[in-house]
Amino acid sequence: MEEQASKNPFTNRENIFMEIEIQDSPKKKLTPSGRGGEGAFKKSQRVVSLDVFRGFTVALMIFVDHLGGILPVISHSPWNGVNLADFVVPFFLFIVGVAIALMYKRLPNKCVATKAALLRTLKLIILGLILQGGYFHGINDLTYGVDFKRIRFMGTLQRIAIAYIFTALCEIWFKGDREVDSELSLLVKYQFHWIAGFVITVIYLSLLYGLYVPDWEYQIPSGGSSSSSSSSVTKTFLVKCGVRGDTGPACNAVGMIDRKILGINHLYIRPTFARTKQCSVKSPRYGPLPPDAPPWCQAPFDPEGLLGSIMAIVTCLIGLHYGHVIVHFRGHKERILNWTIPAVSLLVIGIVLDCLGIHGNKNLYSFSYMCNTTSAAGVLFIAFYAPVDVFGYRWPTKGLEWMGKHALMIYILLGCNLLPTLLQGFYWENPQNNFLRLIGIKT
């Protein structure tokens, strides 16, 4: 899709996972170093590697979702540590940031752009509530509907929506007017973005390590089911905390904020910490509770909670910087250099923080986790950009490119189990006689 220089550049741009194309001015010919010359760039140059990276992330998501139960080492880490599945959401956030820089390259009307961004955010939140809030209960349950007392408010799409709207508004309203002719001038032009990222990081760390977490309690049906009814007998668990700055599963500020603001009944009911050794005899798989299991093992906890989503904005802002490099530097060498420096810097920071005890943690979206996963996103983007956009080897990645152009549709159908759920919904005589059972998938 070409980026149109029309009065409304937001036509047909409802999907933030869309393919992006940048258009160079025909009046200015640039050399590969970006300093001027003849015929180095054509009038229109699509950043195909962004589609490929997006498609790769979708493929990675499908891979870990379907094989994570068989190979726990690739599934989400139970708590501290980063496994393969833990890279998926940061990759999406990074890609959204890059896309925003290209999407809002030209802004004829800031109010129109803001309205479009807000509408797109609302659509993502509503879609997330439908797909992850409880309406589709999974392929093993043919009952549909939402109990508003227990609907899950947060989720992957909601987290992306929060990061998207904040980053988009920064790009729309707080972009400097300075011309970019060097790396330093690029930082100056977008200085507010960097200030915003720094402030967000300080707020996150201050709340995570500064808030006092008191004792708290929760209830579950006495039979151990995650869902309850008014007639069921419930069992109450008391979790002893009374600490500040704890980053364990039971007494962290991330969970406390979600319990206070969202409500404990609106959190994810099958958190990954249920696979830890304290909570599962089959760790790192889900399993029966050990005899001496701590009381927090069956508590709800949302891995896409509010405080973690605030920190996730920083990943999107760093992706935005990578997009700015595309917009302002036309030379491949300059782009790769300006991408490599932050990627290496973030990796070093992440490793140092992990050694200092600030471990990578997807559930908390810890600062070291943000650094390491965003660094990996930058490195992978360079790895796709070099062969695809620099050397033009597109045919080996055609499949990933197609998946990248249809990322949201694939995510809904496969990532959210909508397609298997719909297929299982058609049966003859009894629910067990369905298409999935026919092709050998047990339901």
- Residue range 266-296, pLDDT digits in tens: 999 889 999 999 999 999 889 899 999 999 9
d(CA 191, CA 199): 12
- CB of 24 closer than 8 Å to CB of 39: no
Q: Between 265 and 423, where is the model more confident?
A: 265
Determine the Cα–Cα distance for residues 415 and 429; give it in Å rounded to an integer. Answer: 29
State how far the alpha carbon of 19 is from the alpha carbons of 7, 46, 94, in Å: 20, 9, 14
Give the residue with greater pLDDT, 411 vs 242. 242
Q: If pLDDT is split at 50, 70 and 90, which confidence band does 408 have? A: confident
pLDDT surpasses 80 at 315: yes
What is the C-alpha R_g of the chain?
23
Crossing angle for the helix pair 306-328 and 191-210, to the nearest 10 degrees:
160
Mean confidence (pLDDT) of the chain: 84
**At 31, is the pLDDT very low, low, confident or very high (cuts 50, 70, 90)?**
very low
Of 14-18, 183-187, 240-244, 389-393, least confident by mean pLDDT is 14-18
* DSSP designation for 413: I
pLDDT of residue 14: 39
Q: Is the per-residue pLDDT at 27 higher than 50?
A: no
Pairing of strands 234-239, 216-221: antiparallel
- Tokens 């996963």 sit on residue: 373
* 280 and 247 Cβ atoms separated by less than 8 Å: no
Q: Which one-letter amino acid corresponds to residue 118?
A: L
- Cα distance between residue 328 and residue 85, in whole Å: 33
Quick one: which H or E segment has residue 173? helix 156-173
Query: pLDDT value at position 137?
Result: 55
Confidence of residue 134 (pLDDT cuts 50, 70, 90): low
First to last CA, the chain: 41
pLDDT score of 207 more than 50: yes
State residue 66's pLDDT score: 81
pLDDT-based confidence at residue 425 (cuts at 50, 70, 90): low
Angstrom distance (rounded) from CA 357 to CA 189? 35
Residue 416 vs residue 38, higher pLDDT? 416
Identify the residue whose tokens are 């349950």.
141
Residue-level length of the chain: 443
Taking phi first (over 0 means left), then psi (-120 to 50 degrees means alpha), and beta for anything else, what does residue 357 get?
A: left
Average the pLDDT over each of 24-38, 49-63, 203-217 and give the range with the smallest value. Answer: 24-38
Neighbour count for residue 114 (Cβ, 10 Å): 16
Q: What letter would DSSP give residue 179?
A: P
- Residue 216 DSSP SS3: strand
Top pLDDT among 394 and 427 is at 394
Taking the CB of residue 404, how many other CB atoms lie within 10 A of it?
A: 26
pLDDT of residue 135: 65
Instruction: Look at residue 26 and tell me whether its pLDDT is greater than 80.
Output: no
Tell whether the model's pLDDT for residue 46 goes beyond 80. no
Non-local (6+) Cβ contacts of 427 within 8 A are 433, 434, 435
**Strand bridging mode 243-244 / 212-213:** antiparallel
Q: For residue 405, what are the contacts with CB-CB under 8 A and spacing of at least 6?
A: 18, 19, 51, 55
Percent of the chain topping pLDDT 90? 61
Q: Find the mean pLDDT for residues 356-377.
A: 96
pLDDT at 224: 47
Lowest pLDDT segment from 87-101, 128-142, 280-294, 322-336: 128-142
Give the mean model confidence (pLDDT) for residues 171-193.
Answer: 90
Q: What's the average model confidence in pLDDT over 128-136?
A: 75
Q: Write 285-291 long-range contacts (CB < 8 A, 24+).
A: 285/69, 285/72
Q: What pLDDT was estimated at residue 145?
A: 60
For residue 247, pLDDT beyond 60: yes
